[in-house]
Amino acid sequence: MIEAMRAVTFQAPGRVEVAERPEPELLERDDAVVAIEASGICGSDLHIYHGRVKIEPGFTIGHEFVGRVLAAGEGVSRVAVGDRVLGCFHTACGTCFFCLRGAYHRCARARTFGHGRALGDLPGTQAEQALVPMANLTLRRVPEGLADELALFAGDVAGTGYHSVLEAGVRPGDSIAVLGLGPVGLCAVQAALAAGAGPVWGIDTVPERLEMARGFGAQPLHLTEEQPREVIRRATEGRGVDGAIDCVGHPDALDLAIRLARPAGTVVATGVYAEPCRVHMGLVWIKALRISSGQANVIGHVDRVLGMLAAGSLDPGPLVTHRLSLEEAPTAYQIYDRREALKIVLRP
Ligand SMILES: [Zn+2]
Ligand SMILES: [Zn+2]
């Protein structure tokens, strides 16, 4: 007999509901079932909440999670029942053309948790339990002593910040600008500093976020009250930064990143783009810029990111502004939608 569990479901734009769903069961030999102990609400959940990313009403959402392995198929060898684990936000097969080249984020058989039928029909993790396919690649043991709410950053937000810095080709002493100081931008600030970059400028309009970036060691720049282009130009002998990382996902942010980067520098478009976007290609060409884009290869980075979290060189702890129960999810989404929170952690 299948038992019921509680899960956060998308109902309609602006409405999520905690509903009963059947408990997951092992379907394939490399599946695991995880009892969720903490799950984050992410900016991409907000795209679903607003109806911008379309998923089926009633679908369970969420893709950042930490928990304990409840059951594992016989093909699961890297984690065992009872292990405390964290998950990556999507699965990867390990054997397709892309996985063989280490590009797990473009795995031909990838499924993303909590993003509806279009992205693999895999129920989300804002629930009491979650089915985890391809568990050998999707799950990692949480290092001893690492708190749940820090570990859950490894499989998405901190992994994405780390990816952005890697794509920017940061070397010690490089100057970096991070545009947009949401959780990913703030993690990119930390990862850039951990990689030895400096100065690192953090650009945003929200005073609290600028203050947090300052606390991490960045130089905060208010987008409209200061003149980021002027300040950075003066500080770099007129050249611009070695790397500009756009964690916003808006044409204006990408344009500013292109203008802030020095000739033969790098621009990383980490923020989400889904539509055509005007880019001043003449400027990109004249400046000989390298542009990198796309979602992060979190499965490729997760072990290093966990190492950095365990060592404290990445510390997203201050980003967790709200802790609520799973049952309070409708309120949590309202708070997040009003931009009153950086990271909300839900606990069943
Ligand atoms: Zn996410
Ligand atoms: Zn693959």
Q: Which are the contacts of 178, defined by CB distance < 8 A and separation ≥ 6?
A: 164, 185, 188, 189, 192, 200, 201, 202, 203, 213, 218, 245, 247
CA of 90 to the centre of ligand 1 (A): 10
Q: Which residues of 179-211 are buried (b: 16+ CB within 10 A; e: fewer)?
A: bbbbbbbbbbbbbbbbbebebbbbbbeeeebbe
Q: 149 CA to middle of ligand 2, Å?
A: 28
Between the CA of 150 and the centroid of ligand 2 the distance, in Å, is: 27
How many Cβ atoms from other residues are within 10 Å of residue 3's Cβ? Answer: 9
pTM score: 0.95
pLDDT at 1: 59
Residue-wise burial string across 265-298, b where 16 or more C-beta atoms lie within 10 A, e elsewhere: bbbbbbbbeeeeeeeeeeeeeebebbbbeebbbb
Ligand 1 midpoint to CA 260 (Å) = 27
CA distance 324 to 38: 10
Q: Say which DSSP state 19 is in.
A: E
The DSSP string of 279-345 is: --HHHHHHTT-EEEESS--HHHHHHHHHHHHHHTSS--GGGEEEEEEGGGHHHHHHHHHTT--SEEE
Q: What is the pLDDT of residues 258-305, one digit of tens each?
A: 999 999 999 999 998 888 999 999 999 999 999 999 999 999 999 999
- State which H helix or E strand residue 44 sits in: helix 43-49
With a cut of 50, list the residues of the chain below it in pLDDT. Answer: none
Say which ligand is closest to the CA of 115.
Answer: 1
What pLDDT does residue 103 have?
A: 98
- Ligand 2 is an ion; its neighbours by CB within 5 Å are 92-93, 96, 99, 107
64 Cα: distance to centroid of ligand 1 (angstroms):
6
User: How many angstroms does the Cα of residue 95 sit away from the middle of ligand 1?
Assistant: 24
pLDDT in tens, 19-37: 999 999 999 999 999 999 9
Q: What is the pLDDT of residue 164?
A: 98
C-alpha of residue 37 to centroid of ligand 2, in Å: 28
Three-state secondary structure call for residue 63 = coil
| Residue 156 alpha carbon to ligand 1 centre in Å | 5
pLDDT in the model for residue 52: 87
* 23 Cα: distance to centroid of ligand 1 (angstroms): 23
